[in-house]
Structure 1
């Protein structure tokens, strides 16, 4: 009878250790995700997603050192249209 109670107690301890390990791993994962979400890389990615089409168009144009005239000609629209897109005045 004494052996059976020790076996049960051992099973309970092993189960408790496994539960504690799972909880500890969960806490570590949550901490890592919180750190990643707050990281500079993630903030920049969120900011890029929030950009409007005009902001994105202007960022690409300036990065490639293109003028509005060049971009307008490539897209088959007027320079004023590109300017309106970039400034958010017109969506067409």
Structure 2
């Protein structure tokens, strides 16, 4: 029986990455979508008119970053189906 893991994790000698590039890109895609939604929500509720264009510029930058990542995922064939795990 193993003792519980420490909060800092366990150091191993493994040279294999614990997470695949596909999973990391998919998580990045999801987080960017959440960020875009948050920027839209914040710009809708802002009372200061000088901040609304700034959130629009940030949303444009996040959208371009996400679109670039989606293009990469589509070129690799990673976006058609969600990531799977072998059991």
- TM range, normalised to the smaller chain? 0.3 to 0.5
User: Greater relative contact order: 1 or 2 (C-alpha under 8 angstroms, separation 6 or more)?
Assistant: 2
The structure that is helix-richer by fraction is 1
Larger gyration radius, structure 1 or structure 2: 1
Q: TM-score, normalised by structure 1?
A: 0.31
